[in-house]
Every structure is written in structure tokens, then in C-alpha cells.
Amino acid sequence: MAYIRKSAWLIHYDGSSCNGCDIEVLACLMPLYDVERFGIINTGDPKHADVFLVTGGVNVQNLPVVRQIYEQMPEPKVVVAVGTCACTGGIFKDCYNMIGGMDHAVPVDVYVPGCAARPEAIIDGVVKGLGILEEKRAEYKRLVAQQKSAQRKEAT
Ligand code: SF4
């Protein structure tokens, strides 16, 4: 895993889950697992979030909401799909209004399987996501530097 230089904030969204995975996400924030000790904060504002933690699958109703949250998050960002429903649609995948897993709405970086996903697996998924986030940050900085250098050359 990459060296993490910045505390990651995450936004949690319940797509169409049965709430089983959401209870496990909340367990991660409680004193037993206490992810805040690693600097991870659950924020309600997508504009402050680096990690999009989603539970449940994508359906016709939540598709635009999921995309809107994702688009409001600043770059770079990672998406962690928590639970079998978020990974594939799970037991709800054949319902009349279901589209499928979260990757039908937004690009998913980490899949955390399980029904429900265990807190240890969720934390592991977020840590994997933080490694990917660091790689994306490095790539983002490289692209910005490249763009600035091209602009400077154009100006001279
Ligand atoms: S994976 Fe299982 S526990 Fe999680 S939302 Fe789906 S049905 Fe519920």
C-alpha cells in the first residue's frame, strides 16, 4: 500500500441496501473499530469527500443521485462498493427496477463482498481505496504540472 500523506474523508450513501451493510459501516465508526483514529471522517458533504462508500445496488430511482454525488466530489476520488448488492446487485438484481451493481452508475475502484460485509472487510476495502487514491493524486499532480508546462511554452 502507498504511503498516505493526508487523512481521507468519506461519504456514505445507501443505494438500495437492506441496511445490513449500513449497520456494518456504522460499526466501523463505533468505539470497537473506531476508524476515526486513522483520520477517516464520515462527512455528509460530497465536496469534502475523497472516498465514496456505497451500499446497495443501482436502481432507476437512485442512479441520478449516485452520479450527482460522485460528480460533486473533487478529483481525485475513489469509490468503494460495500456488500454483494453494491458489487453485483446481489439478491435484488432481478427486481423490476434494479439495474445492477454500483459500477453501472460510477467507476468502482474497490469491491468489498459479503452479505453483510464485515467491518474488518470494509476497513480493508477503505485502506485499499486509500492506496489507489494516493496513486491517483500522484497522477493528477503529474497531469497538472504537464498542463502548466504546456501553457508556459504556449505563452512564450
Ligand atoms: S449485501 Fe446483504 S446485507 Fe448488504 S445490502 Fe445486500 S442484502 Fe443487505
Domain containing 97 — which CATH number? Answer: 3.40.50.12280
Cell 449516485, residue?
66
Mean pLDDT, range 103-115, rounded to an integer:
97
Q: Residue 3: pLDDT above 80?
A: no
- CA 108, 112, 116, 119 torsion: positive or negative? negative
CA distances from 101 to 38, 56, 63 (A): 29, 8, 11
Mean pLDDT, range 101-126, rounded to an integer:
96
pLDDT of residue 88: 96
Contacts of 133 (CB under 8 A, 6+ apart): 8, 50, 51, 76, 77, 78
Domain that holds residue 51: 4-155
In percent, how much of the chain has pLDDT > 90? 80
Contact 57, 14 (CB under 8 A): no
Q: Residue 6: pLDDT above 80?
A: no
d(CA 132, CA 2): 8
Q: Residue 4: pLDDT above 80?
A: no
Residue 133 grid cell: 487514491
pLDDT tier, 53 (very low <50, low <70, confident <90, very high otherwise): very high
CA of 68 to the centre of ligand 1 (A): 23
pLDDT tier, 12 (very low <50, low <70, confident <90, very high otherwise): very high
Which residue from 14, 25, 62, 85 has its CB within 8 A of the most atoms of ligand 1, so it is best to mutate?
Answer: 85
pLDDT of residue 2: 52
Atom of ligand 1 nearest to the CA of 56: 5
Domain count, the chain: 1
Q: Residue 38: pLDDT above 90?
A: no
| Overall pTM > 0.95 | no
Which residue from 16, 18, 22, 122 has its CB within 8 A of the most atoms of ligand 1, so it is best to mutate?
Answer: 18
> Tens digits of per-residue pLDDT, 69-82?
999 999 999 999 99
